[in-house]
Amino acid sequence: MELGAVVGELIDPAGGGVAGALIGSMVGVGGGISYVPSTDNFYAGPVITFAPQLFSGYGWNASTAIVPSGTNPNSIANGQSYSVTFQPTTFTGSTVTKSPGSPAVAGPSVGSRSRTTTFSASYSFDITPAARAVRSAVQSAVSTVRGWFQ
């Protein structure tokens, strides 16, 4: 909301902040994480969302995508992607995700933005090598500690 107010004040210093804040409450910026269990790959990056309902720019959701055979899930999770989430209630919703060069995929969704449709654009970076390095460090630390007690 603060971002919207700032943008509104820049556009119209006398009162634009109110309209800007209301519009801003429909827009959210944040982060997203994706995990592909079949290949053990991790992705993270920025997300911008728009929900045509006041104060629905804030919020979060988790969704899973059912990827058809023959489609590489990593090509959907990596780089830019666009998604539409329809969330009639908190625990029942669906997300359709489209990544350039890949077919659109859909799956169930759970989220705090209920009774609305949310449009999101995201860009994800492949952080699998870093995640695997952290995993190796944790696993070697665990085996070292185990060695002290054997």
Partner 1 sequence: MKQIIGIVFLLFTSVAVISNASLMLISPKTWLRLPVWMKLTANFTERTHGTQSGQLKIRLLGAFFLSVMLWMLHGCLARP
Contact 89, 115 (CB under 8 A): yes
Q: Could you say whether residue 1 binds partner 1 (CB under 8 A)?
A: yes
DSSP 40: T
Least distance CB 105 / partner 1 (angstroms): 18
Contact 41, 27 (CB under 8 A): no
Q: Which of 4, 5, 56, 81 binds partner 1 (CB under 8 A)?
A: 56
The span from the CA of 14 to the CA of 37, in Å, is 52
Q: Could you say whether residue 52 binds partner 1 (CB under 8 A)?
A: no
| Segment (H or E) for 93 | strand 92-98
Q: Could you say whether residue 99 binds partner 1 (CB under 8 A)?
A: no
Q: Which stretch binds partner 1 (CB under 8 A): 4-12, 35-43, 65-73, 101-109?
A: 35-43
Q: Position of tokens 């995993």?
A: 135
Query: Which residues of this chain interact with partner 1, rule CB under 8 A?
Result: 1-2, 30-33, 35, 37, 40, 42-46, 53, 55-56, 58-60, 62, 90-91, 110-116, 124-127, 129-131, 134-135, 138-139
